[in-house]
Amino acid sequence: MSSSTDGRQATMDSTQLYREETFTDRKVGTVRRLTPVAADGSPDAARPVIFLGQAQVMTPMGAVPLSFELDAATLNEAIEKFGVAAEAAVHQTMRELQEMRREQASSLVIPGADGGALPNPNDLLGRGRTRR
């Protein structure tokens, strides 16, 4: 895969490779186990295994994907912590959405608020002025 954002080709970091395994119950979500490996594919015991949870939340506007880290040392521990971590991810996502809404609302231009008013609709339609 190549990328040319600034003319350079994207390269992978051979010291940060992980083998990825996916586990799902096909109902609630997915746990991804990222096992560190060396460039030859052998396990790299010097780095910790990482567990990530993934789920979706249905909203009136459709499904919102959630991805969150699971602070666990084993797959069983990651599965046990999945529900609490998913709930925390939902709350965090809702806070972020509310903040985005606030930012959008504060960036709205309100006519007359800073001296710049919209033209009179009658003027745009050619009415409201008397011609001489």
Q: Is the pLDDT of residue 19 over 60?
A: yes
List the beta bridge partners of residue 70: 51
Distance CA 125, CA 132 (A): 17
As given in the structure block, the two tokens for residue 95 are 């806070």
The H-or-E segment that residue 123 falls in is helix 121-124
pTM for the model:
0.69
Amino acid at site 100: M
pLDDT in tens, 44-74: 999 999 999 999 988 887 888 999 999 999 9
The full DSSP string for 79-103 is HHHHHHHHHHHHHHHHHHHHHHHHH
